[in-house]
Amino acid sequence: MSFPWAEHYTPKHPLMQWVDEKLPLPRLVYNAIGAGYPVPRNLNYFWNFGVLAGVALVIQIVTGVIMAMHYGANDLVAFSTVEQTMRDVNAGWLMRYAHANGASFFFIVVYLHIFRGLYFGSYKAPREMVWLLGLVIFLLMMATAFMGYVLPWGQMSYWGAKVITGLFGAIPVVGEPIQTWLLGGFAPGNASLNRFFSLHFLLPFVIAGVIILHIWALHIPGSSNPTGVEVQGPQDTVPFHPYYTAKDGFGVGVFLILFTAVLFFAPNYLGHPDNYIEANPLSTPAHIVPEWYFWPFYAILRAFTVDFFFVPAKLLGVLAMFASILLLFFLPWLDTSPVRSGHYRPMFRKFFWILIIDVLVLGYCGGAPAEEPYVMISQLFAGYYFAHFLIILPLIARFEKPLPLPGSITESVLAKYAKADGETAAVPAE
Amino acid sequence: MASVEHSDGQSLSGGEGVRRRDFINIAAVSFAGVGAVVVALPLIDQMNPSADVLALASTEVDLSAIQPGQAIKTTFRSQPLFVRQLTPAEIAEADKVDPSTLRDPQTLEERTVDGKKQWLITMGVCTHLGCVPLGAGEGENRGEFGGYFCPCHGSSYDTAARIRKGPAPKNLEVPKFSFTSDTAILVG
């Protein structure tokens, strides 16, 4: 894998030599995230978020497995066992708050990771497979997060489950049998809760498996970099360890400071008070909203209020919501510009920031009540979301005149330092 | 297989191009495939509602305490059921609407029992995504058409519980029910 100048694993200790002969696992790790993996020398802090997502997954698995030790997956006791975990179990409150906020932070770093990929064109050849596998991970994360949110069996849990499984009910003919099959009943109940618990426990390990594929696919061409210019020789790379283990280590420190700040000082800020009321099938909360990380998609779902060409509004909303994610699977072939990095694409860069604003506005509308003006704003911004990928990106690729690219990664790095030296003459060159 | 053909192509072949081994191969893989499908069926079917969930429950509702303009919420097959006595004004309002202008065209007659037009019995499940609409409880928001209002995505139903505005595609479902006496119904 990777580049011919990569450092070779040469165990010195006889024990490590013995292990290397029988099971070369240390060799695999060395080549994957050690000194044996050469990485472009110019990565900025946006390249931290892959590792941060891995850290977030580990936090979720550790706190989740512990929570499962104190949880009863039965609709009669689920709510009270979660409250027991909070009040009676030693450090149970810490586990639950870390797990609930850990999910939010997992999505924060994954969204930043995705937008990093969008801005720097990380989805382009030869890294299409990395992007596609990343989207699979994203879909698995959404399924896992949704099912996890049902487990405390509060009002938002119950009604979220009802609304989301109701999405499948919108499919013509087979929709209702599918919805009943998913729930194991005509409404969310004990059967639904139990299967969601089982799958919520399973899927994180599936995610871990797909992450291995994601990294494997990444290591074939090697990491992208902020210039988007491919690595040309040993002068363009540094070994992952110690250079990026150190840089990622710093990022992990910052991440943990922010995570613990929310965890200890505002643990319920990102949640909904309604979920501290036990599930009641006869009373819908006045304002059902999913967790914040689903809001942009929820806004797209709700943007369709009238039938169109005999397709019911309900089905249109569901199709649009799924399409908004499935669309991203075609992105490597929609953006045909050969230039990867947004640094060198003046038109693309403007529309990228418009897309960010668009998604943020959709997110705001998704969290707002289903009334005007939010419905109309959702309609406009959902339309723009699709236009960005289906119309604007292909057109930019055709008409944009990119800025001149640096000859190599090293050239761009040296040019940057030469410029910095020119401005601050007092600093010596080395 | 290529090596077998190479070393001993003649003795194994049953005819031109088709060998006994090909037949055995296809038969074995097909048999395993059928087996896999048969095993998959119960693995999938176990997720369908179990017998205790399916055990049909019918619900009896006493109407004697429900005054005109009032509604009650009860449950039928673990889902909410709305039982409402319409006022003459609400009936008139429902009859005034031309059904052909509706998304899911139905008249109030079609949604109620002959001669007992004031008794509107519907599921309390919004046909959009399954929330419980407001309007059955005392003082709840009945929406701009005076029937039911779903707070989740803003679907408004009229006094015959027909969809008038918002994303829901259908009228609130009227379950099968019959009057067992003048003041009692059996749903299911």
Cβ–Cβ gap A162/B130 under 8 Å: yes
Residues A91, A225, single domain; the answer is: yes
Spatial distance between the Cα atoms of B153 and A166, rounded to a whole number of angstroms: 13
Residues B112, B157, single domain; the answer is: yes
CA dihedral over A396, A401, A403, A408, signed as positive or negative? positive
Residues A59, A183, single domain; the answer is: yes
Nearest to B128 among A189, A191, A314 (CB): A314
Nearest to B48 among A165, A180, A313 (CB): A180
Considering only residues A268 and B2, tell me which one the structure prediction assigns the higher pLDDT. A268
Residues A132, A253, single domain; the answer is: yes
Name beta bridge partners: B184: B62, B181
Q: A167 CB near a chain B CB, below 8 Å? A: yes
Name beta bridge partners: B60: B186
Helix (H) or strand (E) holding A379: helix A374-387
The answer on pLDDT for A94 being more than 70 is yes
Residues A275, A296, single domain; the answer is: no
Give the tens place of pLDDT for each residue, B35-51: 999 999 999 999 998 88
Residues A233, A382, single domain; the answer is: no
Q: Is residue A217 part of a domain?
A: yes
**Cβ neighbours of B129 in A, within 8 Å:** 162-163, 166-167, 169-170, 314
Spatial distance between the Cα atoms of A310 and A297, rounded to a whole number of angstroms: 23
Q: Is residue A359 part of a domain?
A: yes
Give the gap in angstroms from C-alpha B85 to the nearest C-alpha of chain A: 19
Q: Is residue A415 part of a domain?
A: no
Q: Is residue A134 part of a domain?
A: yes
Give the gap in angstroms from C-alpha A144 to the nearest C-alpha of chain B: 18
Spatial distance between the Cα atoms of A194 and A263, rounded to a whole number of angstroms: 28
The answer on pLDDT for B130 being more than 70 is yes
CATH of the domain at A365: 1.10.287
Q: A185 CB near a chain B CB, below 8 Å? A: yes
What pLDDT does residue A423 have?
A: 59
Among the three residues A256, A280, A304, which one is the final residue of a domain in this structure?
A280
Task: Specify whether the CB–CB gap between A26 and A13 falls below 8 A.
Answer: no
Q: Is residue A247 annotated as a catalytic residue, yes or no? A: yes
Enumerate residues 41 to 100 of chain A having a beta carbon within 8 A of any beta carbon in chain B.
none
Cβ–Cβ gap A284/B48 under 8 Å: no
The answer on pLDDT for A81 being more than 70 is yes
The answer on pLDDT for A302 being more than 90 is no
Residues A226, A319, single domain; the answer is: no
The answer on pLDDT for B117 being more than 60 is yes
What pLDDT does residue B15 have?
A: 57
Average pLDDT value for residue range A392-403: 94
Among residues A185, A175, A187, which one has the least CA distance to residue B49?
A: A185
Spatial distance between the Cα atoms of A196 and A374, rounded to a whole number of angstroms: 32
Residues B154, B76, single domain; the answer is: yes
Residues A329, A227, single domain; the answer is: no
Give the tens place of pLDDT for each residue, A374-385: 889 999 999 999
Residues B75, B165, single domain; the answer is: yes
Average pLDDT value for residue range A177-185: 90
N- to C-terminal Cα distance for chain A?
A: 33
Enumerate residues 304 to 323 of chain A having a beta carbon within 8 A of any beta carbon in chain B.
304-305, 307, 312-315, 317
Task: Specify whether the CB–CB gap between A203 and A143 falls below 8 A.
Answer: yes
Number of domains chain B is built from = 2
Nearest to B153 among A186, A195, A370 (CB): A370
Cβ–Cβ gap B167/A302 under 8 Å: yes
The answer on pLDDT for A12 being more than 90 is yes
Complete DSSP assignment for A265-283: H-TTTTS-GGGGSB--TT-
Spatial distance between the Cα atoms of A93 and A256, rounded to a whole number of angstroms: 18
Spatial distance between the Cα atoms of A379 and A327, rounded to a whole number of angstroms: 18
Residues B128, B68, single domain; the answer is: yes
Residues B34, B86, single domain; the answer is: no
The answer on pLDDT for A230 being more than 60 is yes
Long-range contacts of A391-396 (CB under 8 A, 24+ apart): A392/A351, A393/A331, A393/A334, A393/A335, A393/A348, A393/A351, A394/A334, A394/A335, A394/A336, A396/A335, A396/A337, A396/A345, A396/A347, A396/A348, A396/A351
Q: Which of A22-26, A212-216, A407-411, B105-109 has the lowest mean pLDDT?
A: B105-109
pLDDT-based confidence at B9, cuts 50/70/90?
A: very low
Q: Is residue A223 annotated as a catalytic residue, yes or no? A: yes
Q: Is residue A416 part of a domain?
A: no
A vs B, Cβ pairs < 8 A, gives: 96
Number of domains chain A is built from = 2
Complete DSSP assignment for B30-97: HHHHHHHHHHHHHHHHTTSPPHHHHS---EEEE-TT--TT-EEEEEETTEEEEEEEPPHHHHHHHHHS
**Residue B138 CB partners (closer than 8 Å, separation 6+):** none
Active-site entry in A241, A247, A314, A343: A247
Average pLDDT value for residue range B137-141: 83
**Residue A271 CB partners (closer than 8 Å, separation 6+):** A100
Average pLDDT value for residue range A215-244: 94
**Cβ neighbours of B168 in A, within 8 Å:** 314
The answer on pLDDT for B12 being more than 60 is no
Give the gap in angstroms from C-alpha B114 to the nearest C-alpha of chain A: 29
Kindly calculate the radius of gyration of chain A based on its CA atoms and give it in whole angstroms. 24
Residues B61, B23, single domain; the answer is: no
Average pLDDT value for residue range A80-84: 96
**Cβ neighbours of A189 in B, within 8 Å:** 53, 78
Spatial distance between the Cα atoms of A79 and A343, rounded to a whole number of angstroms: 50
Cβ–Cβ gap A282/B166 under 8 Å: no
Task: Specify whether the CB–CB gap between A276 and A72 falls below 8 A.
Answer: no
**Cβ neighbours of B102 in A, within 8 Å:** none
Average pLDDT value for residue range A225-244: 94
CATH of the domain at B142: 2.102.10.10
Spatial distance between the Cα atoms of A6 and A324, rounded to a whole number of angstroms: 40
Residues A258, A345, single domain; the answer is: no
CA dihedral over B23, B24, B30, B34, signed as positive or negative? positive
Q: A421 CB near a chain B CB, below 8 Å? A: no
The answer on pLDDT for A70 being more than 50 is yes
Omega prior to A373 cis, within 30 of 0: yes
Which amino acid belongs to residue A369?
A: P
Residues A202, A269, single domain; the answer is: yes
Considering only residues B22 and A430, tell me which one the structure prediction assigns the higher pLDDT. B22
Which value does ipTM take for this structure? 0.73
Quote the domain boundaries for residue B67: 53-187
Residues B6, B78, single domain; the answer is: no
Residues A181, A320, single domain; the answer is: no
Q: Is residue A64 part of a domain?
A: yes
Residues B38, B82, single domain; the answer is: no
Give the gap in angstroms from C-alpha A27 to the nearest C-alpha of chain B: 36
Q: Is residue A298 part of a domain?
A: yes
Question: Is A241 in a helix, a strand, or coil?
Answer: helix
Nearest to B53 among A184, A282, A288 (CB): A184
Give the gap in angstroms from C-alpha A190 to the nearest C-alpha of chain B: 10
Residues B109, B154, single domain; the answer is: yes
pLDDT-based confidence at B65, cuts 50/70/90?
A: confident
Residues A58, A99, single domain; the answer is: yes
Residues A191, A245, single domain; the answer is: yes
What pLDDT does residue A168 have?
A: 85
Cβ–Cβ gap B48/A307 under 8 Å: no
CATH of the domain at A179: 1.20.810.10
Q: Which of A51-65, A257-271, B73-87 has the lowest mean pLDDT?
A: B73-87
Q: SS3 for B21-35, per residue?
A: HHHHHHHHHHHHHHH
Quote the domain boundaries for residue A338: 289-399
Q: A163 CB near a chain B CB, below 8 Å? A: yes
User: pLDDT over 70 for what percent of chain B?
Assistant: 90
Residues B10, B100, single domain; the answer is: no
Average pLDDT value for residue range A355-377: 91
Question: Is B184 in a helix, a strand, or coil?
Answer: strand
Smallest CA–CA distance from B50 into chain A, residue: A184
